[in-house]
A and B are shown apart, each in its own frame.
Chain A
Amino acid sequence: MRFMLLFSRQGKLRLQKWYTATAERDKKKMVRDLMQIVLARKPKMCSFLEWRDLKIVYKRYASLYFCCAVEEQDNELITLEVIHRFVELLDKYFGSVCELDIIFNFEKAYFILDEFLMGGEIQDTSKKSVLKAIEQSDLLRIYFNKADA
């Protein structure tokens, strides 16, 4: 996977994760172009499209679009389920996740994504394993916060 974007229906970027080195200027342009294309698509259209030399796999959950750019030979359907599994992880962690959770706890959204995907590849597909990793860090956090107090 080359990159993953989360953006709202209004075209606000909520999360971006790049798995190849890309210049900031190019990133901004790619995000703009891609948002425009994806937002213009109608609900019944298919979730895949060709874009430059990449395949775009996207899915909308409520007000948020999850959008992955994968390489030519990558599997579209499994990428779609990568998105779904990520949504499930967010949901489990935040409890009925909504856009606001991701806005106010953006750093946690990044942590969860990092536990799930690394270098653009799935690190672990088990929900339990991923959440255990997150929980562990949360436990540590509580521990330290208590120690601070």
Chain B
Amino acid sequence: MPAVSKGDGMRGLAVFISDIRNCKSKEAEIKRINKELANIRSKFKGDKALDGYSKKKYVCKLLFIFLLGHDIDFGHMEAVNLLSSNKYTEKQIGYLFISVLVNSNSDLIRLINNAIKNDLSSRNPVSMNLALHCIANVGSKEMAEAFAAEIPRILVAGNTVDSVKQSAALCLLRLNRTSPDLIPMGEWTARVVHLLNDQHLGVVTAAVSLITTLAQKSPDDFKTSISLAVARLSRIVTSAAIDLQDYTYYFVAAPWLSVKLLRLLQCYPPPEDAGLRSRLTECLVTILNKAQEPPKSKKVQHSNAKNAVLFEAIALIIHHDSEPTLLVRACNQLGQFLQHRETNLRYLALESMCTLASSEFSHEAVKTHIETVINALKTERDVSVRQRAVDLLYSMCDRSNAKQIVAEMLSYLENADYSIREEIVLKVAIQAEKYAVDYTWYVDTILNLIRVAGDYVSEEVWYRVIQIVINRDDVQGYAAKTVFETLQAPACHENLVKVGGYILGEFGNLIAGDSRSSPLVQFNLLHSKFHLCSVPTRALLLSAYIKFINLFPEVKPTIQEVLRSDSQLRNADVELQQRAVEYLRLSCIASTDILATVLEEMPPFPERESSILAKLKKKKGSSAKLPDIDETRRQVNGSTEHSANNGTANTSPPLLLEDLLPTSRPRPYSSSPILLSASTMGSAHSFTADMLNLTSTPAAAAAAAVGGGGGGLLVDVFSENSTSPSVDVSEDHLERFVCKNNGILYENQLLQIGLKSEYRQNLGRMYLFYGNKTSIQFLSFTSSVTNNTSQSQLIVQAKPVDPMIEGGAQVQQTLNIECVSEFTDAPELTIIFRYGGNPQHIAVKLPVMLNKFFQPTEMTSQDYFQRWKQLGAPQQEVQKIFKAKYPMDSDATKAKIIGFGVALLDGVDPNPANFVGAGVVHTKTSQVGCLLRLEPNTQAQMYRLTLRTSREPVSHTLLELLCEQF
């Protein structure tokens, strides 16, 4: 039947195609095509009406050009015209063009829909089929809307011919996939199910596809299909192959239909009806039996078709997961395929076994094939087959074989294809953790993993090993020893340096007793890697160093020397520089106790889902799904194997997908230096709250910071008092407390008020000491604070005081202060008491000013000027020139600037006579960076004070406070 010679060939088209084929270059081809396009365009535009044949020929040429990969922007109208031709061939080409090239040009869609409507109602099966094909091919929403009601009618109408039924079924399927909401369910659904009984196997085949799709959407509506499908399947598998005539494919009875029926049954659980269930089991047994029969043909098509049905049957057996004998038989069958000479069968056997491994009934049976699978991993020449072997090993892994499987996967990893390395790394890491009985093995495995495939070890993997080591104190010493040994290698992967730095920083002390791994040796080992590492790793190492300073006081000078070097303190990278500066400072100023608190060992991480598992899930939707199913299924079945796993870290709630360790490392410039150093391990986890107790419970923290509190302070206050000659109680006393926190606040003949205060960040605590200078008691003593500013700016809470003060005695009152946002007015203290029957009333301004909430900020000259420039907007700078009130003494000035709360920066200003300072004002709602510069002019006895902050009111307030001090 050589159709080519059938005489309908379009000669012009054939000539054009061979012209194109003869083109020697792309340019020549384009030239020829452009010529043809111009020709067609002129024909279409021409005055002469084209006959159907020419129209068909040109439309076909356009289609050819489009399929070559060129754009076509005309001819749609002519194609639509062809649809209403009464000649089949013209109509056919028109529909083909529309199917391939239709776009959502609404005018055209309306015309096309009209043509389709005509053809659907033509009662001519050939035209109806063309129209249905077109709808299925285009499958647009507009078409679904237009024909969603019509097609089911055609499908179930009694007088519809078989071929149209088939087309209608599949057309409906396609529309259901693209616009499921538009297909109305109705009484036709029941009749569709009965198509499973149709005489014509072609109709049944098409109908099963449709029913499967619909049953996935609403299983209940199509439940009746189960029994019909089982009956049909039973008839097919028990029939002699030849009974089905043309539906027998290479001696296999209706393989497509069988596969589709088995797929439909996978939409449902095993049938409840016992008879039906046993009939289905019979079918499955028959299919399994047939696999053992000698082949009826040597053709690959025979075995493919037969095995296609077999694999689908196994899929159903696994889906039901209820018949242990069937599951084990399936497993044995797949086991045979594992060594089949057909690569395709080995691939599918590995794939299918992967799901079988997750059934409790067949898990053990799958495990018996471990050697074959390992062998496949080593010998398969096709990477996609090896990939399946990796997946299967991963699924069959349990406590009994984990060591073997992990070892095999690790050794495979050394030569594995680059495309799958990362996935293998994740899988090894997960298994090592999940099945670790002894965690030394786990540590060894992960370190090996980094050694073998460091580049493919993602952050999640090395984060995870650290989480586990931190959470399990039985392995910490071993981990420290092992990373120490592994780091001895001359070339280490950077990930190993990270793990090493972290673990030695935390647990280096556990191996420091051995002189071969003394603190200095450990430090030198880490530092020998430092210069080869990237910035994040160096940052981590710096944190490890400060941790060393805490662990090993004896290496403190060595480490301080390193931190102090220009390559650290003046490092071009801000993060490194900042860490070096802060850590150095911390190591210099903090007492051993504070260091020990700040740099305490990391607290255990909360147990959550392994970050690696989450990563694997994200990375590979498909293959990672398997172990997932495995988890849930075993959980449901309550197998002992699974409950044993529950003890390990990663079987906690599987929903928490977020990584344990936040990966964002940069921190805002404005945070306080102390807090910065507290987040020692930078990228690790935010434990700042735990380290200083500052953020979590502010009041308690302030109390803790003050330390002793109580009566001892009284002595301090009054000893200070004795050194302070001034007993001036004038109204300007406030001024004196701008740059200091302690002293005599007020004094008259009866009462002296001493003051001591401490500030940290936006919190403060003030201790007031009321001293009765007389020998007679004060009665009804009350003291309260009136806050002139609103609560949204400043909160001051005064604790009640004893209402009676004996003669010569002192009473203490504590005030808690919180700065919420910037403020200008100081709160007022009101004291009322009776002395010898006379009421006394005293009001004093409390020295709570904005500058009390400064935290000094050390910075280099370069940074200072950079930030100075950043705050260059006119309203951000304030300046004042004023006359000196006090002798212009450089040291006194320095003391005042430091007392004001900022860091005094030496060597920043080119003129050494000038003073430069920097600090951050902490309020609850914001942090305002402040830079200041004081330029004395001794000749004129004048100062010029310049302040830059990001907020104008803050600049003004601070300027007014400070300029009165000099």
Interfacial residues, chain A to chain B (CB-CB below 8 A): 13, 16, 19-21, 28, 42, 44-50, 53, 72-73, 75-78, 80-82, 84-85, 92-95, 101, 103-108, 110-111, 114, 118-129, 133, 135-138, 140-142, 144-145, 148
Contacts and interface: CB of A to CB of B under 8 A. Distances in A.
B246 interface: yes
B133 A118 contact: yes
Contacts of A53: 621-622
11 contacts: A50-B622, A53-B621, A72-B622, A77-B344, A114-B133, A118-B206, A125-B202, A125-B249, A137-B89, A137-B126, A140-B88
A70 to B, nearest CB: 12
Nearest to A105: B4
B348 A76 contact: yes
Interface in B165-199: 166-167, 170-171, 173-174, 177-178
B256 interface: yes
A21 B140 contact: yes
Nearest to A82: B256
Interface in B337-370: 343-344, 346-348
Interface centre among A21, A72, A119, A144 (most CB of B within 10 A): A119
A119 B344 contact: no
Interface in B350-392: 381-382, 384-385, 387
Contacts of B673: none
Contacts of A135: 1
Interface stretch (B6-14, B647-655, B740-748, B935-943): B6-14
B88 A47 contact: no
Nearest to B90: A144
Interface in B44-67: 53, 60, 63-64, 67
B509 interface: no
Contact of B209 (A76, A111, A121): A121
Interface in B129-181: 129, 132-133, 136-137, 139-140, 163, 166-167, 170-171, 173-174, 177-178
Contacts of A76: 308, 311, 344, 348
Nearest to A88: B301
Q: Which 10 A-B pairs have the closest CB atoms?
A: A119-B174, A77-B308, A124-B202, A78-B308, A118-B170, A46-B343, A126-B246, A140-B88, A121-B209, A45-B382
A121 B170 contact: yes
B622 A129 contact: no
A108 B140 CA distance: 24
Given A105-B3, A125-B247, A141-B8, A48 B347 contact: yes
Given A46-B384, A81-B304, A103-B17, A123 B170 contact: yes
Nearest to B252: A81
Interface string B301-333: 100110110011000000000000000000000
A110 B255 contact: no
A75 B259 contact: yes
Contact of A104 (B4, B178, B308, B621): B4
B167 A118 contact: yes
Contacts of A13: 67, 69
B170 A119 contact: yes
A5 to B, nearest CB: 12
Contact of B246 (A50, A107, A129, A145): A129
B69 A92 contact: no
Given A94-B2, A110-B96, A81 B126 contact: no
Contacts of B255: 78, 81
A137 B90 CA distance: 11
B445 interface: no
A78 B258 CA distance: 10
Nearest to A49: B384
A37 to B, nearest CB: 10
Interface string B102-144: 0000000000000000000000001001001100110110000
A129 B398 CA distance: 52
Contacts of A50: 384, 387, 622
Nearest to A149: B7
Contact of A16 (B67, B178, B312): B67
Contact of B307 (A73, A77, A95, A107): A77
B531 interface: no
Interface residues of B, number: 75
A61 to B, nearest CB: 13
Interface in B671-716: none
Interface string B916-942: 000000000000000000000000000
Contact of B3 (A21, A49, A93, A126): A93
Contacts of B96: 107, 110-111
B90 to A, nearest CB: 8
B89 A140 contact: yes
B955 interface: no
Nearest to A148: B53
Contacts of B6: 138, 141-142
Contact of B139 (A21, A46, A107): A21
A124 B64 contact: no
B88 A137 contact: yes
B344 A21 contact: no
B17 A104 contact: yes
Given A46-B382, A49-B384, A121 B206 contact: yes
A81 B308 contact: yes
A28 B69 contact: yes
Contacts of B304: 77-78, 80-81, 84
Given A75-B312, A103-B21, A118 B171 contact: yes
B246 A128 contact: yes
B2 to A, nearest CB: 5
B254 interface: yes
Interface string B249-265: 10000111101100100
Given A44-B382, A108-B3, 13 more contacts: A44-B343, A46-B384, A75-B308, A76-B344, A77-B305, A77-B348, A119-B170, A119-B171, A123-B170, A123-B206, A137-B88, A141-B8, A144-B89
Contacts of B53: 148
A64 B385 CA distance: 24
Contacts of B257: 125
B88 A48 contact: no
A94 B384 contact: no
B258 to A, nearest CB: 9
B343 A125 contact: no
Nearest to B256: A125
A105 B13 CA distance: 9
Contact of A101 (B4, B174, B621): B4
B385 A46 contact: yes
Contacts of B254: 125
Nearest to A41: B382
